Every structure is written in structure tokens, then in C-alpha cells.
Structure 1
């Protein structure tokens, strides 16, 4: 490592990236107390001592229209980061998440501070679509820190040096302590069958899944007349989910916050919209059926860009179909109920998922603190005196 004090430029524009950045700063400071940090970030990184170069709130946008509107500000922000790097001469710049902005910033940083190492923290998604991102990442960055264990191969094949650090949110789920019996007693469920339903978080998802999910519950009640249903409300979607589940059969009730994880762990099986929820269920050890519906134009686009036979994170991580995926025209009440029924009782279908989950959990969450793993990788790469 250079004899001069360690100086690191960090860039985090979104709340999730701010959390990763703060965790990384704390871990780096433990290993290297003299480390200094410059760049941009949110409140959590500020609490760790970072004086942000500019406010980052304006860059937390979703969708192509909003991203296009934010482009002029993003170009100016990237130039300011490059000015800072040229003046302060940090040994490395770590760009956290925000792939579109990271590309812009990396090109400017490479041009203005060519001696500085560039590290990408949170690899862009390449495993379901847009695989060319891996090659672009290898061209722009000296090192890539991946959240998921199954990601590294995509970037290594493109020539990028990678390190798997783990996913902090998923590790928190693994560490979450919950008592199945206590949850059931609290909600007067008893020992009868319990189905967890995770319908999604976006308004369009909830609208499309309402009829098939409710219909699946009605059909399940034929085989399981004492079935109870708990509906998990994702953060920010609590009111919409309550409205959705009002009047659902099975004595359906809604849970939110930390109780979502308790509910899923206590359930015999789950019906989940494809997304992060499928990974959470695998971490909690709950057998599941994955479902999803989109409008026709989105379906046509997805068929054109998808590079994997699976859409759920749990199956992508496993490299095979662990949980049934019933999508589009297959997302019908009778199909959903038929796939769920074997999971509600002991048998091969249920046991095969449960047996597969521990290995999937390791690939999704990792086995050590992501902040510590990322800090170790950064210092290791800088300390070798070679390109990471």
C-alpha cells in the first residue's frame, strides 16, 4: 500500500447504497484508522464522517423518464467528482450501485485521475438480461464487489477481477430470531395449515395478482378447509395490501414490518410474486410457488431480453427450478392451487425445496459481514501494488 495516508473517494446516490457505504466506511476505519473519505453519500455515510460533495436525493429515481430528466444533473455531478479526484488524488474511488451514473462517473474519473483504482460495489444485473454489462464493467473498473455468489462467474468470464462480499439485507433475515409457535399463538392460528401470500409491492403488481391469488386461496380451501392466510405487506405498500386483502377467504390478515419474516417462517408454504420475496422465503426456509403477471408489451420485451430460463432469484441462484414458476397465462387460480397443495403437507415436493434452501441461502447472503468482506477486498487490492 502507498506510504501516504489512505484516501478513498466514495459515491452513493440511493438509500440502499448509502447503507452499504456507511457499513464499508466503518469496516475500513477498523482496519485502517487513518483512512480519510471524500465524495458523496447520504445521512448514514454522513454519520460516519463523510461530508458529501453535493446532495444526493435528486438522483434516487426509478424508470427511464425520470432517469432522463436527471441526466443533466448527473453529468454535472460526475464532473464534480472528477474535479475532486484530480485535486485530492485518492488512491481509489468506490462507486456504489447506481449503474447508469457509475458508468458516467467512471469514464470521467478514468480520464481525469488515471492513476486511481476504480472499484464497483454492487455489480450491475447481468444474470437475467443485458449480459453485455459484464464486459463494460470489466473495461471501466479495476475490481467488482458482488453481492451474490453466483454473480462472480459472469464478470470473471468478461475479464473483471471480482470478490463476493454477501448481501447485508439477506444476512439480517438469516439472523432474525422468530418463534413459529409464538406467531401462531399471537394470531390464534393453532397448528392448522398456514399459507403466506406475498403479492408484490407496486400498484400494478397488486392489481394483476389480486384475482388469481384470491382464486387460488378459494380453491385451496377445498382441500384444506381450516386453512389460514397471512398476507405480507412490503414496506411502503401497507395500505394498498390491506385494501387488496380485505374480504379474502381463509381469515386473511395482513402483517408488516419485522413481523413479515415471522409470518413467512411460521407458514407451511407461500405464494409469492417474483422478486426479492422469493429470496427472503428461501432464507426463511419456506417452500413456495412463484407467480407473476405483466401486460403484453412488457411480456414481449422480457422475452426479447431475458437470458435465463428462470425469473425468480431463488431459481437463478440455484441454477435450476427449485420452486415452480407460474407466469403470465399459467398464473391462474387452478394452476396456483395445484402447485401449492403438495407444499402444504409433507412429501417429496416440500422436502426437495427445504433441502435446497441452505445452499441457496449461502449464495444469496454470504457467510461474513459484507462490510468487512468489502473492506478486506479493497485493502487487499490496494496493498498488492497491482491492478486488482
Structure 2
């Protein structure tokens, strides 16, 4: 039986998840599956051409959401129109809560016969638990990343399959830290700080100045400190332009070399996100920071019930990784913690070891998430056809 599947991803991380899932489905079904959708470069590599550039949907905070409302509304309509024209058997909506929940409702209206599957649910155990019921009314099935997700959505009546986080299964066997240092002209024993400012334009705008000042402070303490900065694909030009004005040399790192850079670094300073799990897989101690606009933060803070932002800390129920959020995300506060990890090798090793232990709690070593997600999608499709 042949299937047409629509994948909708509005951010870089979702683009990767969608592309991985599509690759597994294609390997299993061959010519019996075709794809359409909305996504980024990874999906485009598979021939899934997006009707618009998803980078314009990288929105953070309530204020940005209000400003972008008209654009989001138009892109939801564009996505629903694509679904109506292509008439897929299933629509898989990946992450990006605000955009995908609106898209799910719009597609349900124009194409009620399609199975709607959400891949990555909102973190209702951290804030706004009512979103579980909202999602249950909008889609037919959820592919969740963590075991703690399932009970919340199942109680709301939404069938849920826990597939795990793909970040736990990244293959870093070919990531060579020593080779990275050699290629960048960094001595094997030179202290190296890797900065990962994020993949959204607003993250770069807010966090890069903080990281620049932090690096300045650290170089005043450690003159031979080397600094490398990852320029993620969607914001590479912006990051490159900003780093070019720094008063010291920073080695720019592309997406292809980021895992090698993680392994080469003594410490990573990163903007909160899935990347924290990847850094832990690389075995490198890290410090996490994050902030949105102050108005949005003040509105959202009373709704947040979780003690931590970083998934490693949430899984461990302790601050394994120091995180500096919002008003604490300043160079003055971040510098001492990064300096401690750069200069106290015993503390750095202890944190890296604890990060690795938490990965086991999160499900490292289990089945491949894309394979489990493909199993669940095919089961939904077969049940739908029956």
C-alpha cells in the first residue's frame, strides 16, 4: 500500500527530526511512500521542497509572537493549502508548539480524513499542563521524547508513543577533537572554550554580546585561551558578522565540524536547548545560559513549574550543569563558573562524568528514535486505512 506523508517542521531542530524520520520511512517503504511538506535544508536534501523559508518562524517569547502574528497566520494558511492540494494520508507536525498547533487545527478543517501526528509534545510537566488537553483535541497521536511525557498526554486521552531523543543517539565516532585542533592551528594543550550561541536569530542577538564579554573576561584571566564559535546553518551569516568584530580571534565552526569542536573543547558555553544533550554525549563539561525579552519572561515565569531549564538537570533533578537564566545570564555571573571549569581539571572531569551518568537516566543506549517513530507512524496509518 502506497502512502503520501506530509512533514511540517518550523525550526532547524525539527527539520533534522523530520528528515531522519523520512529517511527511515523511505528505507522501509521505497517507492511506496512519497513526501511533501514544510521544512529546511535537511528536508530539502531529500527532495521535500518547502513553500516558504522556515527561518522566519523562529520566534521566541510572547512579544515576538504578537509581532509575528500576521505572518504566522499566513504561513499556517499556506501550510493548510499545501495539505489540501496534496491530500496526504498523514501529516506529521514536528515540535514548534505555537505554529504546529495552529496548523493542526487548520489542516483538520480542510482535510479531516488525514491522520495528524505530533512529533515532540509541549513540556507540560514544566509549565502550562492544560496544553495536554489542547493537543489531544487537535491531533490523533503523539510521538514523545521522554517517558515522563506519556502520562500527561494519555490522561488527556491522546495515544502516545515514547520514541526517545535523537540527541542521545548521535554517532560521534568520527568526531576527532585532536584533528580539529590541528586544522584550526590550536595547540594540543591550549585551553579551548567553545561557544554555541544558538540557532535562532533572536538567540544570536541576545546571547552573542554576553558571550563576547564573557570571553573577554576569561582571556584577561587566561591570556592563551582559545575561543571557537559555532555558526549554525540558519544564522551562520549573522554569527560570522558579529564574531568578526570581536577584539580577539575566534575560530568559526560550521555545522559539519561542531561535534569535533565539542570534543576538542575543554568547556562549552551554550544557549539552552537540545544542544546540551549533544555536548554531554561528547563528554565535555558545559555551562548553559538563556534569556528572552523581559516582558515575556515576567509573563511566563508564574506558569513555569519546573526547577530547571536544561534537560540534563530536569532528568537528574539537580543542577548537574550550571544554568544562568534571564537576569542571571550576564557575563559577570557566567565568567566565574566557566573559569572554574577551565582551571579546575578535577571539577571539570567530575561534571563530565556526572553528565554521562544522567544520559543513562534519559535513555541513552535504547532503540533508535527515528526507527521507533517510523514504527508508530506506520501503525497509525495502517489502523487509519483499516
Q: TM-score range by the shorter chain?
A: 0.7 to 0.9
Contact 1:271–1:340 (CA<8 Å) still a contact in 2? yes
Quote the offset at 1:215 in angstroms.
Answer: 4.0
Structure 2 matches for 1:370-381, cutoff 5 A? 370-381=369-380
Is 2:164 the counterpart of 1:163?
Answer: no
Quote the offset at 1:335 in angstroms.
Answer: 2.7
Structure 2 matches for 1:109-124, cutoff 5 A? 117-124=115-122
- Counterpart residue number, 2:71: 69
Give distance in 2, aligned partners of 1:225 and 1:48: 46
Quote the offset at 1:15 in angstroms.
Answer: 7.2
- Counterpart residue number, 1:179: 176
Quote the offset at 1:146 in angstroms.
Answer: 2.2
- Tell me whether 362-371 or 151-160 shows the greater mean CA deviation: 362-371
Structure 2 matches for 1:173-322, cutoff 5 A? 174-175=171-172, 177-186=174-183, 187-202=185-200, 204-210=202-208, 212-221=210-219, 224-246=222-244, 251-322=249-320
2:52 corresponds to which of 50, 57, 67: 57
Structure 2 matches for 1:122-137, cutoff 5 A? 122-137=120-135
Structure 2 matches for 1:77-116, cutoff 5 A? 78=80, 81=83, 90=89, 92-97=90-95, 99-100=97-98, 102-104=100-102, 106-107=104-105
Contact 1:279–1:364 (CA<8 Å) still a contact in 2? no
Q: Secondary structure at the match of 1:177?
A: coil
Q: Give the CA RMSD over aligned residues.
A: 4.1
Give distance in 1, aligned partners of 2:254 and 2:53: 28
Is 2:323 the counterpart of 1:325?
Answer: yes
Once the two structures are superposed, what CA deviation does each residue of 1:107-147 show, in whole Å capped at 9, x if it has no partner?
56667776764422332454544332222222333321124
1:362 and 1:250, CA in 2 relative to 1: closer, same or farther beyond 3 A? farther
Q: Secondary structure at the match of 2:174?
A: coil
Give distance in 1, aligned partners of 2:83 and 2:209: 49
Give distance in 2, aligned partners of 1:212 and 1:183: 25
1:106 and 1:373, CA in 2 relative to 1: closer, same or farther beyond 3 A? same
1:256 and 1:207, CA in 2 relative to 1: closer, same or farther beyond 3 A? same
Contact 1:272–1:289 (CA<8 Å) still a contact in 2? yes
Give distance in 2, aligned partners of 1:44 and 1:335: 37
1:376 and 1:220, CA in 2 relative to 1: closer, same or farther beyond 3 A? same
Quote the offset at 1:340 in angstroms.
Answer: 1.8
1:140 corresponds to which of 116, 138, 141: 138
Contact 1:245–1:253 (CA<8 Å) still a contact in 2? no
1:37 and 1:101, CA in 2 relative to 1: closer, same or farther beyond 3 A? farther
1:10 corresponds to which of 6, 21, 46: 6
Contact 2:143–2:163 (CA<8 Å) still a contact in 1? yes
Give distance in 1, aligned partners of 2:374 and 2:321: 35
Contact 2:280–2:356 (CA<8 Å) still a contact in 1? yes
- Counterpart residue number, 1:347: 346
Contact 1:193–1:228 (CA<8 Å) still a contact in 2? yes
Contact 1:217–1:249 (CA<8 Å) still a contact in 2? no
Q: Secondary structure at the match of 1:145?
A: strand
1:49 and 1:111, CA in 2 relative to 1: closer, same or farther beyond 3 A? same
Give distance in 1, aligned partners of 2:200 and 2:356: 27
1:108 and 1:360, CA in 2 relative to 1: closer, same or farther beyond 3 A? same
Give distance in 1, aligned partners of 2:294 and 2:38: 38
Quote the offset at 1:323 in angstroms.
Answer: 0.8
1:189 and 1:248, CA in 2 relative to 1: closer, same or farther beyond 3 A? farther
Q: Secondary structure at the match of 1:373?
A: helix
Give distance in 1, aligned partners of 2:219 and 2:102: 54
Once the two structures are superposed, what CA deviation does each residue of 1:279-329 show, in whole Å capped at 9, x if it has no partner?
332222211111234443233133233332222344334443221112344
- Tell me whether 149-158 or 71-80 shows the greater mean CA deviation: 71-80
